[in-house]
Amino acid sequence: MSSTAHYHAIHGGGTEPPAGGRQDPATQSLAPEDDTDRDMNSGGSLGRRASRSPSPLPKGENEDARKEINLDPGFLDQEHAALKVLSWMWEIILTILPLFFIVLAILAAKLDGSPVATSDYGSRVVEITRLGPTIYPILFAMVAARFYKNAARYRLERPGGIRLSSLEQIFGSQSFASALERLIVVRAQLLLGALILSTWAMSPLGGQSSSRLLRVEGRIIESHLPVYYDNRSHKRGVWSDPDRYHYSASDVVQALYSGSLLSPKTQQRGFSDLWERPKIPQLPRNWRHEEDDESWRVVDTGALKAGSELFTSLIGLNIQSPDFSDNTTRYEFDVQSTYFDFECTRITGLSADEMSNVTFWDSRRLSNHRSNKTKLLDAIPRYGVVTASASFAPVLAYFAKGADAAPYVLHTSFSATTDRDRPLDYAVFNCTLAMPSVETKVACTALGCEPQQQRRVLDGSDEFLKSGSDMFQFSNALEAWPNMTKVVLSSASATENFIANDENAYANQGLRDWRGVDEGLFSSRLTTAFNTAWEAGIDPYNVTKGSSFAGPTGSADVWTNQTSALVTRTEDAYYLNAVWAAILVIATTVLQALAVGGLVLRCLIRGPDVLGFASSLTRDNRFVPVSGGSSLDGADRARSLRDVRVQFADVQPQESCGYVAFTIAASASDRDKKDDTTFRPLEKKRMYY
């Protein structure tokens, strides 16, 4: 087919163009009353070009016209019933889907403060929120694009129509990027464009807020539970019967005592003993002399770790009934305990008159247990020269005759000298004896216990020192103490090496020289050593069991004290981010309004869906030989014309000013003809109407 014939086929089968003042309806100027004409005329020369038509080619160059395509008439709604049902189902589903995020916000609000461990659906809600940044923008794009498309179609069908610039902005706002582009390019409806952009801005806000709805944080749960611990004042141990110690428990007691002295310094200075029992710190010396002072002091844990302050014993209290199945559990409670406190000064000289007032304890005397001995060398065992004996000997002594006088401990240490006439020397320390009662705040976790605060309790615990039966136990422990570690001739005992603060108490050190010793440190370490020996004999067969997690057989058990513990544990809980939840609700409300509006507009629209389809450019186009089919949607029209080839071309190639049109593409045979002047490729430097 020739180019001329093709052109005349487009223009009505070869008829001549209208003559005189009669214009072709396809190129007739718009009426002055048309709003679109006024908008176009406002553009100057561009408006005038919109009503200009190209001059038709003369008839007769090629009469072989291309066949015209005729599309059958039909109703506006020609969709198949099944497709129609599926289409409306999708419309309804798309309208309902935004409610899912409202429900998500409600579920998140219900989870606020709920424990993670016991929540039935918390983990699933968290997993869903992680998908929010992906799902929300996709859903928003589908809903918003449908709304703006249906809004454009609906306004296009109204009797008053719609401004072309508004139509471009509304229909072109299929995404945030395209809405921004139309606002910048069209520049006609700034307020409308800003409103559209503000709705699209809800998409990223909704997506990010959905992922930030919940956070998991630890919270502290508090409760009060009873805690049981040893009441040493009710326990007599092996010291009430010397035979029980010598013939039954001595090996166990000595093993416990020696093991404590043999432990490394880090263990001795730690807050728990070898069996994870909490140790109780000694009161500082300046606190022991305060009268009627029961104020609390903060325990200097750093000084305890450094060794400048010491514990009452290397064997701690037996704490019962803590439950650490949850590693975050923390117990805080007060325990009350007593200990033997020694304050020693080295005796450098004692007159005969002063020694005449000294009497020594004699456990064999059943009445007042006071002997008639007034010489220290008579009261202490003789240090063996051939047969080894203990390197120190503590004895009870009274420096007053009164019945109520408190006893002293004369701690005698044997030491070697360089004097041949006097091969042995005696270092004697006069140690006043007291039994302070202390209350200690202890904090225990799964890692162990640590003292927090401490105070002295004025409860008359010193009365123990005035009781004959109690002093009998004390004397038995004092007598057994020097032989709890191995005795080696001309060597200091491990006990003395511990008191001297040696790194290793079992290094076969020679007899000690106590001249110039720090009496305060000597007193504190002697206190720790003796109380360790005493505690080892109180309940020797249960010490190695450590702190029991099982409660006692009964709360009235006289062998234990009961205290109330503040139990705190940390558990993970869900918390609602209120700000992000509010943003999600606002964004989803906007989305739901767009969804409902899109569905309502879909119900009101009657005309075919032609906006946004390339096939719509073939409607009412005199350069495309297609007639009919005005009721078809863009998709149906594209399927009907699927084999038609189209192009943008200059349909007025022979004129000095060309005309760009959407037209049927030339066939391969026409493109091969060199004299074909029907179409002309577009050129950048050519003028076009």
- Summarize pLDDT for 595-618 with one digit per residue, the tens: 999 999 999 988 888 888 888 888
User: What are the distances in angstroms from CA 162 to CA 40, 165, 169, 170?
Assistant: 14, 8, 11, 10
Q: What count of other Cβ atoms lies within 10 Å of the Cβ of residue 278? A: 23
How far apart, in whole angstroms, are the C-alpha atoms of residue 625 and residue 563? Answer: 101
Q: Distance between CA atoms of 517 and 247, rounded to whole angstroms?
A: 37
> Are 271 and 299 in contact, with CB atoms under 8 Å apart?
no
- Reduce the DSSP state of residue 301 to 3 states and report it: helix
What does the pLDDT look like over 312-321, one tens digit per residue? 999 998 887 6
Q: What is the pLDDT of residues 511-527, one digit of tens each?
A: 888 888 999 999 999 99
What does the pLDDT read at residue 291?
Answer: 59
| Per-residue pLDDT reduced to its tens digit, 163-196 | 888 888 888 888 888 888 888 888 878 888 889 9
Tokens of 135: 């799902």
Statement: residue 335 has pLDDT above 70: yes
pLDDT of residue 213: 93
Rounded CA gap, 346 and 515, in Å? 9
What is the Cα–Cα distance from 257 to 537, expressed in whole angstroms? 9
Quote the CA–CA distance of 142 and 180 in Å, as a whole number. 18
pLDDT average, residue stretch 108-127: 91
Residue by residue, what is the 3-state secondary structure of 159-192?
CCCCCHHHHHHHHCCCCHHHHHHHHHHHCCCHHH
Pairing label, strands 626-628, 69-71: parallel
DSSP-assigned beta bridge partners for residue 297: 454
Paired tokens of 210:
């959905």
Mean pLDDT, all residues of the chain: 80
The percent of residues above 90 in pLDDT, for the chain, comes to 36
Q: Give CA angle at 289 (287, 294), nearest 5°.
A: 55
State residue 558's pLDDT score.
Answer: 47
Tell me what pLDDT residue 395 has: 84
Q: What is the pTM of this model?
A: 0.64
Of the two residues 71 and 667, the one the predictor is more confident about is 71
**Using an 8 Å Cβ cutoff, are 310 and 501 in contact?**
no
Helices (H), 440-548: 468-480, 494-499, 519-538
SS3 340: coil
Give 555-586 pLDDT, tens digit per residue: 445 456 888 999 999 999 999 999 999 999 99
| Whether pLDDT at 22 is above 80 | no
Lowest-confidence segment of 173-187, 264-278, 429-443 by average pLDDT: 173-187
Instruction: Report the alpha-carbon distance of residue 191 to residue 196 in Å, rounded.
Output: 9
Contact 399, 408 (CB under 8 A): yes
Return the pLDDT at 589: 95
The DSSP call for residue 278 is: B
335, 229 in Cβ contact below 8 A? yes
pLDDT average, residue stretch 388-394: 79
- Please give the pLDDT value at position 325: 84
- For Cα atoms 665, 670, 672, give the angle at the middle one, nearest 5 degrees: 120
The percent of residues above 70 in pLDDT, for the chain, comes to 75
Helices (H), 420-500: 468-480, 494-499
- β-strand pairing of 297-298 with 408-416: unpaired
Largest CA distance in the chain: 160
Contact predicate 519/529, CB 8 Å: no
**What is the distance between the alpha carbons of residues 498 and 605, in angstroms, rounded to a whole number?**
99
Token pair for 512: 């000690």
Please name the residue that has the structure tokens 């400048």. 308
**Euclidean distance between CA atoms 343 and 24, whole angstroms:** 126
Report the residue count for the chain: 689
Q: What are phi and psi of 9, to 5 degrees?
A: -65, -35
Q: Which of 148, 141, 140, 143 is closest to 210 using CA atoms?
A: 140
